[in-house]
Amino acid sequence: MTWVKICGITNLEDAKKAAALGVDALGFIFAPSKRRVEPEKVKEIIACLPEKTEKIGVFIDRRLEEVKQIAGFCGLSGLQFHGSESPDYCKNFSKYKIIKAFRVEAHRGWDEILPYIRDNAVDRILLDTYVEGVPGGTGKTFPWELVNIHNNWGGVPLIIAGGINVSNVERLIKEVNPFGIDVGSGVEREPGKKDEEKLKELMEKVLTIQETKKCS
| Range of the structural domain that residue 151 is part of | 3-215
C-alpha closest to that of 25 among 37, 44, 2, 33: 2
Active site residue 7: yes
Count Cβ atoms within 10 A of the Cβ of residue 132 and give its class: 0-12 exposed, 13-18 middle, 19 or more buried: exposed
CB 116 within 8 A of CB 137: no
Backbone angles phi, psi at 73, to 5 degrees: -65, -45
Give the integer Cα–Cα distance in Å for 179 and 173: 9
User: What confidence score (pLDDT) does residue 32 get?
Assistant: 92
Exposed, middle or buried, 14 (CB in 10 Å: 0-12/13-18/19+)?
buried
Cα-based angle 24, 188, 207 (whole degrees, multiple of 5): 40
The whole-angstrom separation of Cα 164 and Cα 183 is 6
Specify the pLDDT at position 23.
Answer: 98
Q: Among 14, 74, 90, 128, which one carries the catalytic annotation?
A: 128
Number of domains, the chain: 1
* Burial (0-12, 13-18, 19+ Cβ within 10 Å), 40: exposed
Quick one: how many helices (H) and strands (E) in the chain? Answer: 8, 10
Beta bridge partners of 32: none
Note the pLDDT of residue 137: 67
Q: The domain spanning residue 193 has which CATH number?
A: 3.20.20.70
Using CA atoms, how far apart are residues 199 and 207, in angstroms rounded to an integer?
A: 12
Judged by DSSP in three states, 184 sits in coil
Output the pLDDT for position 148.
86
Instruction: Quote the pLDDT of residue 49.
Output: 98
pLDDT at 136: 66
The answer to whether residue 90 is catalytic is no
Pairing of strands 3-6, 124-129: unpaired
- What integer pLDDT is reported at residue 216 of this predicted model? 62
The parts of the chain modelled with pLDDT lower than 50 are none
Set 7, 74, 90, 182: catalytic member: 7
